[in-house]
Amino acid sequence: MSSDSEFDLFRTSEDHEALREAVRAVAEDKIAPHAAEVDEKSEFPRAALEALVASDFHAPHIAEEYDGVGADALATCIVIEEIARVDASASLIPAVNKLGSMPVILAANDDIKRTYLPPVARGEAMFSYGLSEREAGSDTASMKCRAIQDGDDFVLNGQKSWITNAGESQFYTVLAVTDPDGERGRNISAFVVEKSDEGFGFGEKERKLGIKGSPTRELHFDHCRIPGDRMFGERGDGLKIALRTLDHTRVTIGAQAVGIAQGALDYALGYVKERKQFGKAIAEFQGLQFMLADMAMKLEAARQMVYVAAAKSERGDADLSFFGAAAKCFASDVAMEVTTDAVQLLGGAGYVKDHPVERMMRDAKITQIYEGTNQIQRLVMARQLLKRK
């Protein structure tokens, strides 16, 4: 027989569940009432940001030594999951704060950490992540953005595409080529760029299918000069830092996907209990019950995979690359399936904006695409498998 302590590996702690209750209360009270309007108007969820900052849920991953609350990786996933349950756009506030700052946490010296992490932890700034380009999405090593040294400074020229919360964030981790003639993938370095830097600007907001409350814009660098001490990690290690970051943050996209799916399932359950056809609630029809069972089963499998990956992220386990990719891939595929089935369960009502499931279906789609498409996730998993002895 196994001891009780061994079973603890497979369940969340009392603290994690207390956190879930606290986040859910904030989400339902302060964020959910604005979700439809945020989507309809494609407006940044300002009320959500204010509520999250007031409750310290906007960047829970930042350590206490940098003025944060020091939430572990699983706690951060729970925060993102519970916010995404009511509004996927708002859940990108804590998710992207982690994505943007994680390279700094992993690779920067203490001076850079003390400059950029505390303002984010205090809610005075947000942090975004600049890796992808128009012609360098999945193939990140082919990026063209340049950072050429000029004395003690670097001068950036080029662009980045599909940058979440661009224009709203004050800080940006930017990956750029520092040695154009160097070995592909080993000639890229990491920098912090500030919104106020001269020569740094933004493209127009993308017109998107979902997550409309989170602005997605290009970053433009036109002879943008930044101090040399804004480069962090070793020169040429930028892509390595970027990929290490994604190992950790893909788990948070899995958490977002789980939250979106849970919100859709919750709403569909309420609807089928109330909707009547042929003289009884449609929840009594076996065909619909089978759909609900499959939705819940797959959702719980996705949740457990995300939580295991989060634990591996916290420990820095050697197999995190596989589990991070698997959690993101599986959970996002499940989210797309569950939200689509939720729309189906509502019938014609699911197809109109009077009900939130159509928004959830649109929001779920991006989880299969960003932070690496699910085709790339399968490549990552396969390569990890083939490396094993």
- How many C-beta atoms surround the C-beta of residue 186 within 10 A? 14
Cβ contact 164:214 at 8 Å: yes
Nearest CA to 316 out of 147, 102, 172, 129 is that of: 102
The dihedral through the CA atoms of 296, 300, 306, 310 has a sign that is positive
Side chain identity at 280, as an amino acid letter?
K
Q: What is the DSSP string of 138-182?
A: S-GGG---EEEEETTEEEEEEEEEEEETTTT-SEEEEEEES-TTS
Residues with catalytic roles: 371
Tokens of 251: 């788990």
**Environment class of 110 (CB within 10 Å of its CB; exposed 0-12, middle 13-18, buried 19+):** exposed
* Residue 154 · residue 198 · CB < 8 Å: no
The sign of the CA dihedral 306, 312, 315, 320 is: negative
* 8 A C-beta contact, residue 291 and residue 345: yes
Q: How far apart are CA 385 and CA 389, in angstroms?
A: 9
